[in-house]
Amino acid sequence: MSNLRKINATLDLNRKSWSIERIEAIQGDIDSLTIAARIVLDGKGMDLTDYTPTFAVVLPGTSEYVIDDLHFDISRLSEGYFEYTFVKEAFSVPGVYDTARFILQKKDKTELSGMPRFTYYVEKDPLQGKVIAESYISDFERLEQMIHDVETEIAGLHDEVTSESMRLDTEIAELDAKIDTETSKLQTEANNLQTQFDSFNPSQFAQQTDLNAHVNNADIHVTSADKTNWNAKETTVGAQAKADEALDGAKTDAASLYEPKIAKTAWTAPVLNSGFSILDSRFPPLYRLKGSTLQIKGAVGRTTATGAIFTLPVGFRPAERHGFAAAMVTGAAGAVATVYVHDDGRVELVSASGNYNLWLEITLDID
């Protein structure tokens, strides 16, 4: 077998002609030669994504032929490029192969027009002796591979069945051993019970006369009259009414105790005082109550002003003044501001380390 060679070939569909160097092979070559084909239309590689390439040739001096769609590299069809490696049957007889061509066909059987033939030459190999020309169709090779795959799968299934049968035999043996063990345990327990029964002394059992005396003792049993008197003290309807009243009271108490702690108001925009403004419409100053927790957030624009930024309405004010460190909207190191939330509702910028805008992120309990 010769070393693998690659022949570059270009087909210009506008001219319907191949630009290809002379292709020569020796009779009997196997996987020795590859054609790197590029299909060009209007000077550019044509997108062949929807096409399936097939190589076809009639062996010279015979009625045999090769039809092969299996030995292609089609990874670059979108660039108009594919590679085909000749099968050995394409070099089986010496002579001039002037009927070689590539067929490009879509799934609907339409073919790309303008695909001319090309020629290659096969030199006789004296060592081959007399070679009988035979046709080759790649579908046969594909079928043989499928049959081989099925045979391999059947062999694998046979091995699995054998392995599973051995596993089941092992499990059955283990189950038999467990049954024998459990049977032995049950027999031992039965023997122990029989021993206990044999040791019973009937004289120690309760006597029938004692049982009758207990049953006939009216002083220790509830009579129908007793039940009637007891039932009269409480009816089903009365008991249900008392239970409903207790449940409603418990619900009311629970609601009054916990609902204020979990209720949540909507975010509300405050009225900003002079000297302060909304810095960014994406992060406007807002406040809300979540239970008894006051939340304030947003970016505040400012000049050089300090003082009250805005005033919270009644119901949103803490019982006493709280102070917070607030971030400044700047990359400068150490920039910080001090903000007070007063019991009269004023949210006040007390001091700032620079004339930077202010970022509010405050959470406090107003109880």
124 lies in some domain: yes
Indicate the residue among 141, 162, 183 that finishes a domain. Answer: 141
CATH code, domain with 345: 2.60.40.1830
pLDDT digits (tens, 9 = 90+) for 62-105: 999 999 999 999 999 999 999 999 999 999 999 999 999 999 99
In this prediction, residue 160 has a pLDDT band, given cuts at 50, 70 and 90, of confident
Indicate the residue among 83, 112, 141 that finishes a domain. Answer: 141
DSSP 8-state class, residue 14? T
Q: What is the 3-state secondary structure (H, E, C) of 227-292?
A: HHHHHHHCCHHHHHHHHHHHHHHHHHHHHHHHHHHHCECCCECCCCCCCEEECCCCCCCEEEEECC
Cβ(359)–Cβ(349) under 8 Å? no
Q: How high does pLDDT run on average in the chain? A: 87
Encoded tokens for 4: 């693998």
164 lies in some domain: no
Provide the 10 A C-beta neighbour count for residue 294. 21
Q: Which of 75, 62, 56, 81 is nearest to 138 (CA)?
A: 56
245 lies in some domain: no
Per the model's pLDDT, the better-predicted residue between 159 and 37 turns out to be 37
Those residues with Cβ within 8 angstroms of residue 45's Cβ, 6 or more apart along the chain or in another chain: 38, 39, 79, 80, 81
Where would I find the beta strands (DSSP E) of 162-252?
none
Among 185-189, 252-256, 272-276, the range scoring the smallest mean pLDDT is 252-256
131 is in which domain, residue-wise?
Answer: 5-141
Say which amino acid occupies 329. V
Distance CA 240, CA 20 (A): 102
310 lies in some domain: yes
70 lies in some domain: yes
Provide the 10 A C-beta neighbour count for residue 66. 23
CATH code, domain with 58: 2.60.40.3350
338 lies in some domain: yes
**Residue 1 pLDDT:** 43
In this prediction, residue 275 has a pLDDT band, given cuts at 50, 70 and 90, of very high
Per the model's pLDDT, the better-predicted residue between 198 and 13 turns out to be 13
Distance CA 258, CA 166 (A): 67
How many folded domains does the chain comprise?
Answer: 2
315 lies in some domain: yes
182 lies in some domain: no
Indicate the residue among 84, 108, 141 that finishes a domain. Answer: 141
